[in-house]
Amino acid sequence: MPNYAIIPPMQKNIVMRLRLETATGRNILAGILKGIRDRDNCTISIASDDDGFMRFAKTASAIIADTSADIGAIQKAVTDGKPVVLLNDWRFKKHQSNLGHIRTDDGEIGFKAADYFMSIGRFRSFGFMPAYADREWSVKRGRAFALRLRRKGHECQMFSHGKAGRIHD
């Protein structure tokens, strides 16, 4: 009978490409590291640019990435059958068994923001200034924020580039 104890377990080499210049990116990284810190034989490589990501991705056993990751390297990893988890990345529409998605619920974020402001005082007016007027996630958060307030009987002014206006459905 073979002695399997002398055969080392397969090491998992996880490569991550995240935008770490933002608090959101750093919080995502902290959550990922917390979730996998107790895993045996797991190496984590964090690529800070596309060159590093493409180099690390060649030898990765799994990839976790956001939209900052090179699309070609992601596609190659998916095609090679490596497990890939994409964070808020809508570039892949086709379902593949080795490709997972984690997406932020922008509507829930807008609702929670409205609930928070309603809970801390009796404000006479509310407003929303989108972080980016041309980004879908920012627009969704604003609409949800205004919707929650409206359902509770409050008006909400939407601001953009120094202008105010009522939210339109």
Record the pTM.
Answer: 0.70
* Distance between CA atoms of residues 44 and 65, nearest Å: 13
pLDDT digits (tens, 9 = 90+) for 125-142: 999 998 888 888 889 999
Domain locations in the chain as residue ranges: 4-102, 106-166
The model's pLDDT over 71-109, given as tens digits with 9 standing for 90+, comes to 888 989 999 999 999 998 878 877 788 999 888 899 999
Q: In what order do the strands lie in the sheet with 157-160?
A: 127-128, 157-160, 163-166
CATH number of 4-102: 3.40.50.2300
Alpha helix locations (H) across the chain?
A: 23-36, 50-59, 71-79, 106-119, 136-151
